[in-house]
Amino acid sequence: MIKKEIRILTLAFILLTIIAIISNSYSHYLIDTQNALFNKLYNHPLKVSNTALNIQLNIYKIHRDMKDVVLSPSEMTLKGLIHDVNTNEMIIFNAFDIIKKNILGDKGQALNSEAYTLFRDWKVIRDEVIHLAKQKKYKKAIKITQQKGAKHVLKMDKAVEKLYQYAQNKAQSFNEKSNSIITKQHKISYYVNVLGFVLFISIAYFAISRLNNHMSKNEKLKNALNIRSKELAKIFNESPNPIMVHNVNGTVIKINKSWKALTGYHFEEIDTIEKWAQKAYGAKECEIKRSVDEMYHQNKSLDHGVSTIKTKDDKLLYWKFSSAPLGIINNERVIISSAMDITELKKKDELMVLQSRSAAMGEMISMIAHQWRQPLTTISMIANNTLADIELDILDSKVLKNNSHQLLETTQHLSETINDFRNFFKPDSGKEAILISKVLNDSLKIISSSFKNNDINLNMKVHTEKEVFISSRELMQVFINILNNAKEALTEIKNEEKNILIEVTLENNNIITTIFNNGNNIDNKIISRIFEPYFSTKQKKNGTGLGLYMSKIIVEEHSKGLLEVKNQKDGVAFILTLPILKT
């Protein structure tokens, strides 16, 4: 009988070891695959799309300068314009080199080559126009600009737009693959750990019970019990997950090798729960001790969630704890606690944060370009009108003075816009006591003009002046993500009125911020998934699927709040709940 049980334990240990090795190897393979996807996502879609936008912007600048070249400028102004054209040409040629190095696929290279050829051909036209302008043959220069230059600019704009769309399609493909890998990895990790834990607890309980029965029946079975105990100890010590056994008195009975290897603490340093809590949790010692005390009154397995562990050399680890009653040993109730080290998964979450920040920067750059388009057009128009008045010798001092004041006001507006965006990208100074209304107003400064341009009405009602304790930069990122999503939803509907209503109220010591838009309802099949990483409803549009996911992390994990989305009769509402600052 004893030999049979020993064989069962040995086979079980081999099975557990094989499962652990296979799980670990496959997990590393998935992580490497995901890292490769992240690198592709950075090196191809982000670099190519941002560089394509940069090419478009500089094409517009050259086109604008070439229009000024043919307007009979002074010799000094002409030199300045030619210098600006040459500078922007170099920027565009360098941008084409960047795209050539990073773009993927033969189609991408062909699109880049097409745009580059068009730009190179346009340079020949520009050089001819500049040569004529230097000779003051403005009529001929204007004719060439109108007949050839304008057509080339349109062709180049379409060619660069194809590059941008190609990069965005690649980004969507990479995101879908990454999302699939993460889902697969989570499922495999969950099933393997549950299976391993159940097998280990079942085998351990079975072995201890059977060996105790044999000891009470026959002295001869002591040797077999010793052998079985050694096998069990080997399983316990060699388990890939950290394991601790402790009793109701707070005495640690044993820890395995993985526990010692990961934390750096030897058994003698943490032989009581009190010592372990003090060393590993510091300020949270009392909270952890209370949680451990509650274990002893449970008769079922418990999942304690994720805890931050401080190692002996002051490193931080993230462990997902679970525990189960092991039975009565030496007349004392014993608990076995097991942990899964998810530090690497946390690092992946940090990588998502960086990716989300990069995506936010791309959106901010788009917003800056959007907000600057009208002021720059105004400045260009005033300058062209002034030049025309000079050429026609009808320049009036009052008109010039009025134009100068208008230019000053417009440039002041541009300066204020720069300050608003600079504030958004300032380094986070940590949590602070702040009004929700202040963060909302700062957010609206950045994106309100895009609402006006899309005929979206925005109304904000604030019914409380209570403060919250939060990182204002992170909260601003949440509001901008939600408001941008509302804008996207409203641009897709045909309602005569497009409305966004923001309401801030106080309820049960919580500040409730509701952001409602009267766009279409979210499909009930996907509404539960919109906070998942890399899940996006924007399809071919510029969506990374990280905005709402990071908003959920910021509100619920960083700020102990709650972020929900609900379909309503005439639209969609995002509801953000944050605890008020207690005085």
CATH of the domain at 472: 3.30.565.10
| Highest-confidence segment of 5-14, 210-219, 242-251, 539-548 | 242-251
Q: Is 165 exposed, middle or buried (0-12, 13-18, 19+ CB in 10 A)?
A: middle
459 plus 335 within the same structural domain = no
pLDDT at residue number 541: 46
Q: How far is CA 58 from the centre of its chain?
A: 29
Judge whether residue 419 has pLDDT over 90: no
| End position of a domain, from candidates 323, 341, 359 | 341
Greater confidence, 183 or 102? 102
246 plus 109 within the same structural domain = no
pLDDT at residue number 224: 64
Taking the CA atoms of residue 242, residue 248, residue 250 and residue 254 in that order, the dihedral angle to the nearest 10 degrees is: -40
Residue 363: CB atoms within 10 A of its CB come to 18
pLDDT at residue number 560: 85
Taking the CA atoms of residue 431, residue 437, residue 438 and residue 440 in that order, the dihedral angle to the nearest 10 degrees is: 90
Asked if 443 and 480 touch (Cβ cutoff 8 Å), the reply is yes
Segment 521-527 mean pLDDT: 85
pLDDT at residue number 1: 52
Q: In this structure, what CATH number is given to the domain that contains residue 264?
A: 3.30.450.20
Q: How far apart are CA 565 and CA 493, in angstroms?
A: 19
94 plus 223 within the same structural domain = yes
Domain that holds residue 386: 349-426
Least confident of 70-79, 297-306, 337-346, 497-506: 297-306
Asked if 483 and 512 touch (Cβ cutoff 8 Å), the reply is no
Count of domains forming the chain: 4
135 plus 149 within the same structural domain = yes
Q: How far apart are CA 156 and CA 220, in angstroms?
A: 91
Segment 155-175 mean pLDDT: 78
Asked if 180 and 135 touch (Cβ cutoff 8 Å), the reply is no
| End position of a domain, from candidates 213, 239, 265 | 239
pLDDT at residue number 307: 76
pLDDT tens sequence across 114-144:
888 888 888 888 888 888 888 888 888 888 8
pLDDT at residue number 352: 59
pLDDT at residue number 240: 76
Give the rounded percent of residues in the chain with a pLDDT score beyond 70: 68
pLDDT at residue number 491: 85
Q: Which residues contact 295 (CB under 8 A, 6 or more apart)?
A: 302, 323, 335, 337
| End position of a domain, from candidates 179, 212, 239 | 239
403-411, long-range: CB < 8 A, 24+ apart: 406/378, 406/382, 407/379, 407/382, 410/375, 410/378, 410/379, 411/375, 411/379
Judge whether residue 356 has pLDDT over 60: no
Asked if 309 and 255 touch (Cβ cutoff 8 Å), the reply is no
Greater confidence, 243 or 187? 243
421 plus 437 within the same structural domain = no
Q: How far is CA 29 from the centre of its chain?
A: 23
pLDDT tens sequence across 23-64:
667 666 656 565 555 555 545 566 777 887 888 888 888 888
Asked if 441 and 485 touch (Cβ cutoff 8 Å), the reply is no
490 plus 575 within the same structural domain = yes
Least confident of 301-305, 456-460, 508-512, 540-544: 540-544
Q: How far apart are CA 449 and CA 444, in angstroms?
A: 9
**Whats the size of the chain, residue-wise?**
583
Q: Is 88 exposed, middle or buried (0-12, 13-18, 19+ CB in 10 A)?
A: buried
Judge whether residue 7 has pLDDT over 80: no
Greater confidence, 476 or 538? 476
Segment 388-392 mean pLDDT: 75
Q: Which residues contact 151 (CB under 8 A, 6 or more apart)?
A: none
pLDDT at residue number 185: 63
What are the respective helix, strand and coil percentages of the chain, to the nearest 5?
65, 15, 15
422 plus 434 within the same structural domain = no
Segment 347-374 mean pLDDT: 58
43 plus 181 within the same structural domain = yes
**Chain position carrying tokens 């704890």:** 321
pLDDT at residue number 547: 74
> pLDDT class for 291, splitting at 50, 70, 90?
low
71 plus 190 within the same structural domain = yes
Judge whether residue 413 has pLDDT over 80: no
| Highest-confidence segment of 144-158, 318-332, 367-381, 434-448 | 434-448
pLDDT at residue number 31: 61
> pLDDT class for 566, splitting at 50, 70, 90?
very high
pLDDT tens sequence across 460-518:
999 998 999 988 888 888 898 898 888 888 888 876 789 999 999 999 899 999 999 99
384 plus 471 within the same structural domain = no
327 plus 361 within the same structural domain = no
Q: How far apart are CA 372 and CA 377, in angstroms?
A: 8
143 plus 41 within the same structural domain = yes
Judge whether residue 229 has pLDDT over 70: no
Q: How far apart are CA 456 and CA 492, in angstroms?
A: 12
Indicate the residue type of 9: L
Judge whether residue 438 has pLDDT over 70: yes
pTM passes above 0.85:
no
**Mean pLDDT for all residues in the chain:** 75
Q: In this structure, what CATH number is given to the domain that contains residue 370?
A: 1.10.287.130
